[in-house]
Amino acid sequence: MADATNTNAGAHADDATGPVLAADGSPLKSSLNKALRAQKLRALALIAPLLIFVMVTFIAPIVDMLFRSVENQIVSETLPRTVAELGDWDATSETLPDDDVYAALYYDLFIAAEYKNHTRLGSRLNYEQTGMSSMFRRVGRNVGDFGELYLDQFEDLDERWDEEADWAALMAHPGYLEDAAEWRDNRDADRIDPRDTPAPRFRLAPGIADLLPQTAQAYSQYAEFMRTEEQETADEDQPWTLVDTMLYNDLMAASEADIAAYSGPMADALQAAHAAVPEFETATLKELFIESDDEWANLDNWATIKVYAPNYTSGYFLTAVDMKLGPDGMVSQPEDQQIYGLLFKRTLFMSMAITISCILLGYPVAWLLANLPMRSANLLMILVLLPFWTSLLVRTSAWKVMLQQQGVINDVLVWLGVVGDGDRLIMINNQFGTIVAMTHILLPFMILPLYSVMQTIPPTYLRAAKSLGATPFTAFWRVYFPQSVPGIGAGSILVFILAIGYYITPEIVGGTSGTFISNRIAYHISSSLNWGLAAALGTILLGAVLILYWAYDRIVGIDNVKLGG
Amino acid sequence: MATVITLKKQPYSFVGPVSAAAGGFAGLFVGTAQGSGLLGIILGATLMAGLAYGLMTLDLPRKTVRLGIAAVFAAVGFLLSGPMGLIIGALFGAFFGWFPAWLADGKYRASLPPYLTAREVLWHYTFRIICGLIFFFLIAPIVVVMPLSFNAENFFTFTPEMLRLDPDGYSLKHYQDFFQSNDWQAALRNSLTIAPVATLLSVSFGTLAAIGLSQPHVPFRQVIMAILISPMIVPLIISAAGMYFFYSRIGLQGTYLGVVLAHAALGIPFVIITVTATLVGFDRSLTRAAANMGANPVTTFFRVQMPLILPGVISGGLFAFITSFDEVVVVLFVGSASQKTLPWQMFIGLREQISPTILAVATILVCLSIALLTTLELLRRRSERLRGMSPG
């Protein structure tokens, strides 16, 4: 706005008498613009530190939460080959995936089990399909033994297949072996800390990757695992049985001529093995998997893996609205598992009940405060502000004390003989307790905006209405009440926004039937560890609050937020 | 209002039944407590009707009669249930000595416009009573906590000894527990090391930004304001969840610094709001005058602007302090056991091992909030006075 006026003024001056000059001889227009720009920059420079601070400490976490609610890299990171192979499999086809998928799964799971990632993946998928956690855990224990079959048969051919040094000679670059030996000496002599100076990076022997591609890949991964997880070099331990299985695959695929052409270390052992492998006893991986846990023959489990293979998923959001991502799109959860809809409805219902009780209790008080003489109003205001300023936990504990079965209210009622000692009222750990305690806690947030609106309504209006013949009720209802509606609106939205996201009070006085969606979020963060679902529930709640906040801004204006009267 | 309202004496046909109704109502409570509600109603009503009749026919000095009735009620109360009865009896007596006279002399209409009908007068007092009950609802939980914190037993309710005002029923042991228990002391220490630092952060950044925001030309003012206010709008559980996820990514989860940063972020909106509100009334010609007389911007800020907006800054700081000091949801997630604050300890206490030490802490915190409230009120007055001095 200011920009526009300045430019116009400048243009005008141009027309009349040529450029108006500032004291330093530059045109007034540009010098005004310069001054304005400097002013803006100064303002921004003052705001910038705080803006950056809030961005980093607050906005970034919120964005992170939004991101987490759709993030789903764990499946494709843990089972990259399986996910790729599963691409061709049709989840609705009623047939199990083919052997290639199981082979890829073997490779992926072997590595995941070594890194102990498979349990994490299991618990992730278990949120979607119960039973998958134990399926991954069980197979994780067995998957290391699947290759024993080949290891034993290679070993029977030649003892060297059981020696780490011979394996290393076959697979590793001679330069790597030298570096490794030197690093090992240093480590054993305590000259270096393996955590600060990791073992040298593994290098494959020249040509081996072409001759035995799968073996080379598996061995490289083994070497990397030794380097990062065990702080050892590749030639310090026998390679995984995965490597033996891959060697079997490679030898089956390799041509006789290629093997014969190889002349490096272990050439004779390779040739002997190549001649022997067609006679090897074999086992299909599919059978091994199903033998270790027959859940691996369950189509639903495979469908779940396929559905949750992409890096981003709407699955958490669907769970949050009691739906489920199936192989053929979204489906509703079974009736008895629809808990979130109920929880959202309960949160809305209870927030509404709290808001309405706040209006009913707050309106008379605000009216009284606005119509009393200043001195007594200020005095009574203390009674409103004291609870407002008192620690939330103090008020919550006070309600716990009051509402308990052996608490103050029940004691008074028993003393008065209203209820018998045997049937004391149950007022806590249910919805009633939550509503009462939260009405008390949020009541000041209703009274203060109502009071500030009512103060602006001239009392003469009521008197005028009465003198024109209105009954007191008509005068109130037709004249006073409509003018106080903005206050009710402001207070209600404020109370509702605060109530909908409350955590502490429902947690303490709510029991199981009086809890809110926020308690569920907290449960998923700290107990069930389903962070994605917590983030999705939080995002939905945040969306609801932002819409309400937008409405509040429309009705009241955020600049009019007042604190403590 | 210069009109003199003459108060009309009321006839017994009005005073008697109303007093009797009040007496019956009080008698109901005393009666049920002593065994028979019906008998209580009848006795109370007759007693009050008689009392009202006596007061109206015998023209005795009102003050003496009131004291006398209070003394008699107190004595009866003492005989019935000890020292507590004495107090309750005295209160009842004082009320019932005053009530019929107040009705009979027509004083209840003294503060009301003379044209009100009887029904309107009745509604006026009913409304007052309703408001009184709501105020009672607001304040009772806080007041109840205080005497309970002196309980000699480990109960959350009044023991018979306490009701008898027996000194043995009261003790300071829960306070002792608070001051001697390592858990509570560590929690207090944590609260006292986290809150001030968080407050300092939010006040220093916040004041600077509020000054920037109140400049006449600020680009994107609305957006910036929305971002800065957002920690107050977003429900705490969502802030806590987001901070927990993000801070564990960057290694701040479970550290002192993480908790301080989180609390500072939560306190910022309060500082922004209070300080910008103070700056609205700030007279800019003062800074121009200072600059005119040769002060550089820094001097102007500290010698001219700061003293004037100081009340706003301090009350913003108090808000930020109480936000951090009171906060439990975020610290529960962002903090670890070694950042356990006072509210956190109370939260654990309420959820798991219930001990009245919580009530002692609660009482101390209520006293603290009374002190804060008083400070804020004084600051507000000072701010108004200062603004009154500045021209415009």
Per-residue pLDDT of B133-190, as tens digits, reads 999 999 998 888 888 888 888 777 777 777 777 778 888 888 988 899 888 999 999 9
* One domain for residues A496 and A351: yes
Chain B nearest-CA residue for A373 = B111
* One domain for residues A494 and A549: yes
Question: Residue A565 domain-assigned?
Answer: no
> Mind listing the pLDDT tens digit of every residue in chain A (565 residues)?
344 444 444 444 445 566 777 777 788 888 888 888 988 888 899 899 999 999 999 999 999 999 999 988 888 888 888 888 888 888 777 788 888 888 888 889 888 888 888 888 888 888 888 888 888 888 888 888 888 888 888 888 888 888 888 888 888 888 888 888 888 888 888 888 877 888 888 888 888 888 888 888 899 988 888 888 888 888 888 888 888 888 888 888 888 888 888 888 888 888 888 888 888 888 888 888 888 888 888 888 888 888 888 888 888 888 888 888 777 778 888 887 788 988 999 999 999 999 999 999 999 999 999 988 888 888 898 888 888 888 888 898 889 888 888 888 888 888 777 777 778 888 888 899 999 999 999 999 899 889 988 988 888 998 899 889 888 889 999 999 998 888 888 889 889 988 998 999 998 888 888 889 999 999 999 888 889 999 999 999 999 999 988 887 787 665 555 444 3
The pLDDT assigned to B388 comes to 62
Dist CA B71 CA B63 (whole Å): 12
Which of A236, A261, A279 represents a domain boundary (last residue)? Answer: A279
Nearest to A506 by CA among A518, A492, A524: A518
* One domain for residues A296 and A413: no
Chain B nearest-CA residue for A361 = B134
Residue B209 sits at the chain A interface (C-beta within 8 Å): yes
* One domain for residues A444 and A556: yes
How many structural domains is chain A composed of? 4
Residue A198 sits at the chain B interface (C-beta within 8 Å): no
Q: What is the mean pLDDT of residues B288-296?
A: 89
B174/chain A closest Cα distance in angstroms: 15
Question: Residue A217 domain-assigned?
Answer: yes
Q: Say yes or no for a CB contact (<8 Å) between B227 and A54.
A: yes
Asked whether the predicted pLDDT for residue B353 surpasses 70, the reply is no
Residue B241 sits at the chain A interface (C-beta within 8 Å): yes
Asked whether the predicted pLDDT for residue B351 surpasses 60, the reply is yes
Q: Say yes or no for a CB contact (<8 Å) between B157 and A406.
A: yes
CA dist list (Å): B110 to A44, A472, A496, B114, B116? 60, 20, 41, 8, 12
CA dist list (Å): A38 to A7, A31, A33, A44, B75? 16, 10, 9, 10, 81
Chain B nearest-CA residue for A413 = B33
Q: Say yes or no for a CB contact (<8 Å) between B131 and A382.
A: no
The pLDDT assigned to A561 comes to 53
> Letter for the amino acid at A511?
G
Residue A20's Cβ-count burial label (10 Å; 0-12, 13-18, 19+) is middle
Q: Look at domain B182-389 and name its CATH class.
A: mainly alpha
**Which residues have CB under 8 Å from A432's CB, separation 6+?**
A514
Asked whether the predicted pLDDT for residue B390 surpasses 50, the reply is no
Question: Residue A385 domain-assigned?
Answer: yes
The pLDDT assigned to A32 comes to 87
A249/chain B closest Cα distance in angstroms: 41
Q: Residue A91 is part of which domain span?
A: 74-144+285-333
Chain B nearest-CA residue for A397 = B350
Which of A279, A305, A320 represents a domain boundary (last residue)? Answer: A279
CA dist list (Å): A414 to A239, A419, B26, B41, B327? 77, 5, 17, 19, 36
The pLDDT assigned to A1 comes to 38
Nearest to A503 by CA among B261, B73, B343: B343
Angle between helices A517-526 and A340-371 (to 10 degrees): 130
Residues of chain A found within 8 Å of residue B329, distances taken between Cβ atoms: 503-504
Residues of chain A found within 8 Å of residue B245, distances taken between Cβ atoms: 61, 64-65, 68, 531, 535
Residue B264 sits at the chain A interface (C-beta within 8 Å): yes
Asked whether the predicted pLDDT for residue B384 surpasses 80, the reply is no
Token readout for A533 is 């679902």
Dist CA A152 CA A529 (whole Å): 42
Which of A25, A52, A68 represents a domain boundary (last residue)? Answer: A68
Q: Which 3 state secondary structure label does DSSP give A367? A: helix
> Letter for the amino acid at B147?
P
Report the 3 state secondary structure along A253-270: HCCHHHHHHCCCCCHHHH
* Residue-wise pLDDT tens digits, A102-139: 888 888 988 888 888 888 888 888 888 888 888 888 88
* One domain for residues A512 and A417: yes
* One domain for residues A266 and A193: yes
* One domain for residues A352 and A458: yes
Token readout for A276 is 């022997």
* One domain for residues A361 and A487: yes
The pLDDT assigned to B3 comes to 54
Q: What percent of chain B has pLDDT over 90?
A: 24
Closest partner residue to B358 (CB to CB) among A383, A397, A564 is A397
Question: Residue A167 domain-assigned?
Answer: yes
Residue B40 sits at the chain A interface (C-beta within 8 Å): no
* One domain for residues A102 and A204: no
Residue scoring higher pLDDT (B196 or B8)? B196
A145/chain B closest Cα distance in angstroms: 36
Dist CA B149 CA B157 (whole Å): 10
> Letter for the amino acid at B343?
P
Q: Which helix (H) or strand (E) holds A438?
A: helix A431-454
Dist CA B113 CA A374 (whole Å): 19
Domain range summary for chain B, segments of one domain joined by +: 12-115, 182-389
Chain A nearest-CA residue for B343 = A393
A234/chain B closest Cα distance in angstroms: 31
B285/chain A closest Cα distance in angstroms: 16
**Which residues have CB under 8 Å from B358's CB, separation 6+?**
A397, B346, B349, B350
The CATH number given to whatever domain includes residue A499 is: 1.10.3720.10
Residues of chain B found within 8 Å of residue A391, distances taken between Cβ atoms: 325-326, 343, 362, 365-366, 369
Q: Say yes or no for a CB contact (<8 Å) between A50 and B206.
A: yes
Q: What is the ipTM of this complex?
A: 0.85
CA B53 to chain centre: 42
Which of B121-125, B213-217, B320-324 is least confident?
B213-217
Q: What is the dihedral of CA A76, A79, A84, A86, to 10 degrees?
A: -110
Token readout for B33 is 């407590």
